[in-house]
Structure 1
Amino acid sequence: MANNSATGGYLSPLLVSPPLEDAELEAVFQGYIAGVSGLPSNLVRTRWPAAGAEPPAPDQTWCLMDIRSQAADAAPAVTHDPAGEGTDSLVRHESIEVLCSMIGPRALRHAAQLRDGSAVPQNREALQAQDMAVTGAGPIQAKHEQVNQQWIRQYDISLRFARRVKRVYPVLNLLSAPVTTHAASVSSTDFVNHLAD
């Protein structure tokens, strides 16, 4: 059984998710990249599973995406909710960088479409259900590579996302506490003005 504030020890969140992490978070980004860039969803792949997979045909354009960093703000807000037995909610904001490598004959077209489509308000709103927003895109950089004596066109672009993270911890209400008070004895000389001397 998980600890709570009454048992002592380390506290874990009451729910593992939200926020989305790992494969679930990658799926959100895969759907966003496919929808905005115009690529079919099966051609937007994560970098790690794609390492051993067969790449698409040379005449197809596809994307490898990778979550590169998640930077959290310096000071999360922690508030107590006294409802029921009580809980603490931690809310913080983080910035997520996702690297998108467009590969294939139309790589630049899809990279530019992803960059420009990220500025369209309706595309930005698609992430609101996950408490996320697109905050910008980096430059498109050529990363062409020669494989088996054939040049492969590749353009990399980084997208930046902001996300609100909320986690709830089992910090119980304080119902009572043993308290002892001691009265100090005060003599009349304690109030004498010694500056007058």
Structure 2
Amino acid sequence: MTANDSSTGGYLVPSGYEDAGQDIDLDLVFQPAVAALTGIDPTLVRPRWQRLPPKQPEPHIDWCALSVTDIAADTNAITTFSEALSGGVERHETLTVLCSFYGPNSALRASDLRDGLMLSQNRSALLAAGIAFKRADTIRRIPELTNRRFINRADISLTFRRHSRRTYPILSVLSSSGSIMADGGGGNITTEPFDTENGQ
């Protein structure tokens, strides 16, 4: 089935995305930062929900499960028409990332992450992906009962902001001509595309 564009009528679906991804792709954007700022082995900083969950590490090992739990969009989006064959919908989003740390140093690792994100150098990789750190919430110590023993656990929610853009196959009007009729007379009009290089 051929996708629609603005000349065919019917529903339009995105033809391109400009953000750091969705679903597990988005979780994986945060994984390197969490591993680096906490000193936890990167293989032990894992997306929270996986199709085939790996074996849980032993209680004496520090590890982290993380996930983007909320993607809140600003109320208003901007629609743009910048190219001959596309238009877009742009908006800002607020992301909530829940990091659950397990192991004997769970609260310490959560605070390492919180304080590490205060340094601009530590935020640079996320900024390169279009994600800006906003704030860290309270660290909550929530030991988890597993196999009749409590395992240390500390949760922290982090808030980030990002700009998101979806491209749609919207055809721009490159030129047009016609007539305008009014009580005092009329005339012909012609429109031409705007010359962005020369400002004309």
Question: Under a length normalisation based on structure 1, what TM-score does the superposition of the two structures give?
Answer: 0.83
Aligned length: 183
Runs of 4+ in 1 over 3 A off after TM superposition: 16-19, 175-185
1:20 counterpart residue number: 21
Residues 144, 154 of structure 1: 8 Å contact kept: yes
1:92 counterpart residue number: 91
Residue 23 of structure 1: CA displacement?
2.1
- What does 1:97-116 correspond to in 2, within 5 Å? 97-116=96-115
Unpaired stretches in structure 1, ≥5 consecutive residues: 186-197
Residues 19, 166 of structure 1: 8 Å contact kept: no
1:9 counterpart residue number: 10
Residue 74 of structure 1: CA displacement?
0.9
Q: Is the partner of 2:13 in helix, strand or coil?
A: coil
Residues 103, 155 of structure 1: 8 Å contact kept: yes
Q: Provide the C-alpha distance between the structure 1 equivalents of 2:70 and 2:154, rounded to a whole number of angstroms.
A: 19
2:126 counterpart residue number: 127
2:159 counterpart residue number: 160
Higher relative strand content = 2
- What does 1:78-89 correspond to in 2, within 5 Å? 78-81=79-82, 83=83, 85-89=84-88
Calculate percent identity across the aligned residue pairs.
37
Q: Is the partner of 1:49 in helix, strand or coil?
A: coil
Residue 141 of structure 1: CA displacement?
0.4
Query: Which residue identity lines up with residue 119 of structure 1 in the other structure?
Result: M
**RMSD between superposed Cα atoms in Å:** 2.2
1:189 counterpart residue number: none
Residue 108 of structure 1: CA displacement?
1.1
Residue 176 of structure 1: CA displacement?
6.5
Query: Which residue identity lines up with residue 61 of structure 1 in the other structure?
Result: D
Residue 162 of structure 1: CA displacement?
0.5
Q: Provide the C-alpha distance between the structure 1 equivalents of 2:166 and 2:96, rounded to a whole number of angstroms.
A: 21
Unpaired stretches in structure 2, ≥5 consecutive residues: 185-200
Residue 179 of structure 1: CA displacement?
6.9
Residues 117, 133 of structure 2: 8 Å contact kept: yes
- What does 1:47-86 correspond to in 2, within 5 Å? 47-49=48-50, 52-81=53-82, 83=83, 85-86=84-85
Higher relative helix content = 1
Residues 19, 130 of structure 2: 8 Å contact kept: no
Task: State yes or no: 1:46 paired with 2:52.
Answer: no
Q: Provide the C-alpha distance between the structure 1 equivalents of 2:53 and 2:20, rounded to a whole number of angstroms.
A: 29
Q: Which has the larger radius of gyration?
A: 1
